[in-house]
Amino acid sequence: MVDWAGYSGQPTARWYRDMAEHSLRGVSPSYERICLGVAGDAELISRLDTLPASKRQPNLLLGAVRFLSGPVDSFPAFRAFVLGGWDEVAATMLARRTQTNEPRRCATLLPALAAVPEPLALLEVGASAGLCLLPDRYAYRYNSGAVIGGSDLVLDCRADGPVPVPEGVPQVVWRAGLDLNPLDVNDDEDVRWLRCLIWPEETHRFGVFDAAVAIARAEPPVIRRGDLLTDLTALAAEAPADATLVVYHSAVLAYLSEDERQRFRAELARIAAGRAMVWLSNEGVGVVVDLPEAAGRDYFVLARDGAPVALTSGHGDWVSWLR
């Protein structure tokens, strides 16, 4: 995943070119073409540069155009749509955030969760609509093996290396999410926005997403509006004391500056000093953990309390356990 915090002060065109070359190539040809087109288009870049830096992200522009029923299969058509309806496109980008809520990430988190003493109290930072707050409500299958769990939604995941595949799903007694802009799983427009953040060629993700939404709507998780730097401790204090608190996040800290990441770590340390707690981070290489052998790859690094345990796919397709 691109470390967006590192693009502060960088030319907007570089964001789009790097997105095309490092994240989209070989995965989403349509988005790759569009991002390369945007990177080389002075008029589009000048429009994007009128927005705050945090609102110029490629995924935000691409999602906004799809949310407005614009074309993403042709750069000329995309360009005409954006320039012709810029006011509406810009308003959508300002009102929304890139909050991809990929439930298949639970398959890459499950082996790490299974190693935590139960019962568990789950606190997800950057929870979006909360689909990754439900690891015990999904079923899993690694390398076409036996299904783990009793849910109708089975998350398939390729497992490489000595992955400690558990025999069952964890016992969760409490769960809550924290997000600057919580999305409501029962709000059709919020759900439609999340669908627009799924890359168009990854059609297999849509069915999983829809099934996860149906599961979440039956018993929606609690998600509080708040900032991870100022509101985490108060929410963590609500977790039952006799459960192991698991604070976790995926593709969240890439949007924070290095100073903010250090402040977040300090907040976690304060919470851990007063109770049993485990921190699971699932972020791009270099965001939490540097792995020289994975530098330049579009991988996530799954880490427990800052120590790397696995490489993972950002969308939950595979997990490769580190030896």
Looking at residue 116, which CATH number applies to its domain? 3.40.50
Say whether the peptide bond before residue 76 is cis (omega within 30 degrees of 0): no
Boundaries of domain holding 124: 105-321
Same domain, 85 and 141: no
Give the per-residue pLDDT at 299. 87
How far is 118 from 174, CA to CA, in rounded Å?
11
How far is 247 from 250, CA to CA, in rounded Å?
11
Give the per-residue pLDDT at 265. 97
Same domain, 248 and 196: yes
Same domain, 129 and 158: yes
Same domain, 171 and 264: yes
Q: How many domains does the chain have?
A: 2
Answer for the pair 113, 135: CB distance below 8 angstroms, yes or no: yes
Same domain, 13 and 115: no
CA quadruple 184, 104, 22, 34: dihedral, nearest 10: -50
- Specify if 191 maps to a domain: yes
Domain finish residue from 45, 60, 95: 95
Domain finish residue from 65, 95, 125: 95
- Specify if 100 maps to a domain: no
Read off the pLDDT of residues 98-155 as tens digits, 9 standing for 90 and up. Answer: 999 999 999 999 999 999 999 999 999 999 999 999 999 999 999 999 999 999 999 9
Q: Is 296 a residue whose pLDDT tops 70?
A: no
Same domain, 283 and 216: yes
Give the per-residue pLDDT at 3. 52
Same domain, 86 and 110: no
Instruction: Please indicate whether residue 292 or residue 79 has the higher confidence score (pLDDT).
Output: 79
Q: Is 269 a residue whose pLDDT tops 70?
A: yes
Q: Is 216 a residue whose pLDDT tops 90?
A: yes
Q: Is 272 a residue whose pLDDT tops 60?
A: yes
Q: What is the mean pLDDT of residues 268-290?
A: 95
What is the DSSP code string of 43-103?
Answer: HHHHHHTTS-GGG--HHHHHHHHHHTT---S-HHHHHHHHHHTHHHHHHHHHH-------T
Q: Is 2 a residue whose pLDDT tops 70?
A: no
- Specify if 109 maps to a domain: yes
Nearest to 232 by CA among 102, 120, 109, 127: 127
Task: Kindly report the length of the chain.
Answer: 323
Which of 45-49, 102-106, 242-246, 314-318 bottoms out in mean pLDDT, i.e. has the lowest? 314-318
- Specify if 223 maps to a domain: yes
Which of 3-17, 26-40, 128-142, 291-305 bottoms out in mean pLDDT, i.e. has the lowest? 3-17
Read off the pLDDT of residues 162-181 as tens digits, 9 standing for 90 and up. Answer: 999 999 999 999 999 999 99
Answer for the pair 275, 288: CB distance below 8 angstroms, yes or no: no
- Specify if 164 maps to a domain: yes
Give the per-residue pLDDT at 167. 94
- Specify if 240 maps to a domain: yes
Same domain, 64 and 195: no
How far is 45 from 314, CA to CA, in rounded Å?
27
Same domain, 25 and 144: no
How far is 277 from 243, CA to CA, in rounded Å?
9
* Residue position matching structure tokens 């996040």: 249
Q: Is 255 a residue whose pLDDT tops 70?
A: yes
Question: 264: helix, coil or strand?
Answer: helix
Same domain, 115 and 54: no
How far is 248 from 124, CA to CA, in rounded Å?
5
Which of 7-21, 45-59, 277-291 bottoms out in mean pLDDT, i.e. has the lowest? 7-21
In what helix (H) or strand (E) does residue 32 lie, and over which residues does it extend? helix 29-39
Same domain, 15 and 127: no
- Specify if 225 maps to a domain: yes
Same domain, 66 and 189: no
Domain finish residue from 95, 127, 154: 95
